[in-house]
Chains A and B, each alone.
Chain A
């Protein structure tokens, strides 16, 4: 019934004295493509390897389907894994690589051949079946590694940074292929990456990890719109969210007033659990600034404008990143994303608008304040 479901309960892992995974609870529904994302060294690979059985947890339990697999051998968990280095067996041909698991399982040769042929068909590897891995390009090796998984017909596919050894163009292409494969097979997939763009584009759900803990779980758009804390807010989205320090001036039922460097922002918030005088952080994404005249559909209550001085301009072609000084908001430099190629000169002034509804608010502990707690379910 729950084929393809993955359930982690209180999973911890220590290497010697080092706690790498500090208690993870997670349920992954059948057919989901879940992405573990987080900075390097946060324990993504370790968590994936705990699911695979290559590492055994120090505490907690792991279920795949309806079985408790906490202590089950990796090959009997119904999983298959693609490694960052591909980990193809160099002395075996593509066909032998793909069929190795079945051979170890003792399947008859014709059956192995049939299954390998079928997987090769899906991945367009048929003409390469007799080659050795060293005679393949990076993208081809990657496909063989995936093929090796498909042949096993696993309940759960595991990917550990599968694209990070490829160049940018190929990475984009393989990303699409993996998404397509997921749609086609409908299998549960867990995908590890440190690249938040990969996470955003591929995932049904994203699990943001930091220092061995889950920071937030949610659909990509949900994480983008309603980051639960400073860490997720800073990690998801590129360029990263701007943060400004402030102090709460007043709390009302529907709003929180925050005094920044010069200005006071009255942010719409329901039932915000902060008190006047508390230190808070306000966040605004670079793409949520507006340069130029405020559109007519913005009523005054929601939009505010500030003066800015241009500190630096990075032109990316289709869009421009302006580093601006806005003394009324912050001492630091804020990054503003402007679509198109607006003429901007360093040192000159600028009027910049923001929508208060798009501002994020975090308390002194970095937790999101108020409204995001009542999150709407966002369809992916």
Chain B
């Protein structure tokens, strides 16, 4: 690998050629990766006939028609309603996930207790457990609770650290931090909850942000759970609204649907670009540092 710098000319030439090759591959793949996204954004501002008519990205005849109609949607609610609905369950979901994951991870990472290995192993196992095996009984259970067509089934479980992945992520992060600081805080008079609040939480803030961001993104993408639990259109989140849009919009009104998709992706994109490093840190913490 190009670790040892080589001043010799012939080698430098090979180096440059290989760099060129690499850039070629990277740019080619990057283009394929991003083109559909650009096409989607561009199509939102094209009249329909132009979407079918040309491969070109730039709209020759730009129009806001798709965006406006898409925002209005074919239903009695505007897209704003669906966006707000999404946030209505995502916000509690994110908060509950963060709080419960941190508490549980702290317990696992910092306390000696009998049976810990077993519980930890079970926690990791739940990460691998397919959700569909739990889906039906959970549905029946929430039906018994009278929670159908509410957001409760979507976020209440998060208060109980049901996403083992996040607990695992925080545990891994905590294991990388020597406990000295927390011991200093104990000597300074903190009980374990004060240690958590005054010392651990500030120190593991990057992990906490990662958890919040991932949960935010994944919840925006949530489809199956809203699909089975929500029945009134007025409570639909964006994901369901989009699915409904492709079913009810006239088959030719592509620009509306694609404009809606673009808008639907905006929150994720904005969050991702504002906080990119937390995603990379988060996804790698569970796999590499372990």
Q: Is the CB of A81 within 8 A of B181?
A: no
Interface string of B187-231 (1 = CB under 8 A from A): 111100010001100110000000000000000000000000000
Known pairs A89-B198, A104-B188; list 8 more (Cβ under 8 Å): A54-B186, A74-B187, A80-B187, A81-B187, A85-B180, A88-B184, A104-B189, A152-B188
Please tell me if the beta carbons of A105 and B180 are within 8 angstroms of each other in the complex. no
- On chain A, the residues within 8 Å of B180 by CB distance are 83-87
Contact of B188 with A100 in the complex, beta carbons under 8 Å: yes
Separation of A84 and B183 alpha carbons in the complex (Å): 12
Verify if A91 is at the interface (C-beta below 8 Å from B).
yes
Residue of A nearest to B201 (CB): A91
Q: Are A100 and B198 in contact (CB under 8 A)?
A: yes
7 residue pairs from A and B, CB less than 8 Å apart: A76-B189, A83-B183, A87-B180, A89-B184, A91-B203, A104-B188, A105-B189
Contacts of B189 in A (CB 8 A): 73, 75-76, 101, 104-105
A residues 312-352 in Cβ contact with B at 8 Å: none
CB distance from A99 to the nearest CB of B (A): 10
Give the residues in chain A near B202, CB-CB below 8 Å: 89-91
Chain B residue nearest to A100 (CB atoms) is: B188
The complex places the Cα of A152 from the Cα of B186 at a distance, in Å, of 13
A150 at the interface (CB under 8 A from B): no
Let me know if B199 and A89 touch, CB within 8 A: yes
Bitwise interface map of B from 150 to 189 toward A, beta carbon under 8 Å scored 1, else 0: 0000000000000000000000000000101101111111
Task: List which A58-93 residues lie within 8 A (CB) of chain B.
Answer: 73-76, 79-81, 83-91
A148 to B198, CA, bound (A): 16
- Lowest 6 A-B CB distances belong to which pairs? A101-B188, A75-B189, A87-B180, A87-B184, A91-B202, A104-B189
Whether the pair A148, B203 counts as a contact (CB closer than 8 A) is: no
B residues apposed to A, CB below 8 Å: 178, 180-181, 183-190, 194, 198-199, 202-203
A54 and B198 CA atoms in complex are apart in Å by 18
Q: Tell me the nearest residue of chain B to A49, going by C-beta.
A: B183
Chain B residues lying within 8 Å of A152, measured Cβ to Cβ, are 188
Among residues of A, the one whose C-beta sits closest to the C-beta of B203 is A90
A52 within 8 A of B: yes
B186 touches A75 (CB 8 A): yes
CB of A73 to closest CB in B, whole Å:
8
Q: Which residue of B lies closest to A80 (CB)?
A: B187
Q: Which residues of B contact A104 (CB under 8 A)?
A: 188-190, 194, 198
- Which residues of B are found within 8 Å of A148, using beta-carbon distances? 184, 188
Query: In whole angstroms, what is the CA distance A12 to B288 when docked?
Result: 39
Question: When the two chains form the complex, which single residue of B178, B183, B185, B203 contacts A100, counting CB atoms closer than 8 Å?
Answer: B185
Q: How far is the CA of A100 from the CA of B202 in the complex (A)?
A: 14
Quick one: closest A residue to B199, CB to CB? A89
In the complex the two chains form, is B178's CB within 8 Å of A74's CB? no
The CA-CA distance from A79 to B186 in the complex, in Å, is 11
Q: Taking the nearest CB of chain B, how far is it from the CB of A71, in angstroms?
A: 15
Q: Which residue of A lies closest to B188 (CB)?
A: A101
What separation, in Å, do the CA atoms of A101 and B198 have in the docked complex? 11
| Contact of B187 (CB < 8 Å), options: A52, A85, A90, A91 | A52
Bound: A148/B189 CA distance, A? 13
Contact, CB under 8 Å: A87 / B183: yes
* Among A89, A105, A152: residue with most chain B CB under 10 A: A89
B182 to chain A: closest residue by CB? A87
CB-CB under 8 A from A89, the residues of chain B are 181, 184-185, 198-199, 202
Contact partners of B199 in chain A: CB under 8 A: 89
Q: How far, in angstroms, from A84 to B179 measured CA to CA in the complex? A: 12
Q: Which residue of B lies closest to A79 (CB)?
A: B187
Q: How far is the CA of A276 from the CA of B199 in the complex (A)?
A: 65
Establish whether residues A75 and B184, one from each chain, have CB atoms under 8 Å apart when the complex forms.
no
- Point out the residues of chain B lying under 8 angstroms from A54, CB to CB: 183, 186-187
CB neighbours (8 Å) of A83 from chain B are 180, 183-184
Taken together as a complex, chains A and B put the C-alpha atoms of A148 and B187 apart, in Å, by 11
Q: By the criterion CB–CB under 8 Å, are B181 and A87 in contact?
A: yes
Partner of A75 from the list B187, B198, B203 (CB cut-off 8 Å) is B187
Tell me the minimal C-beta distance from A60 to chain B in angstroms.
Answer: 20
Residues in A whose Cβ lies below 8 Å from that of B184: 81, 83, 87-89, 148
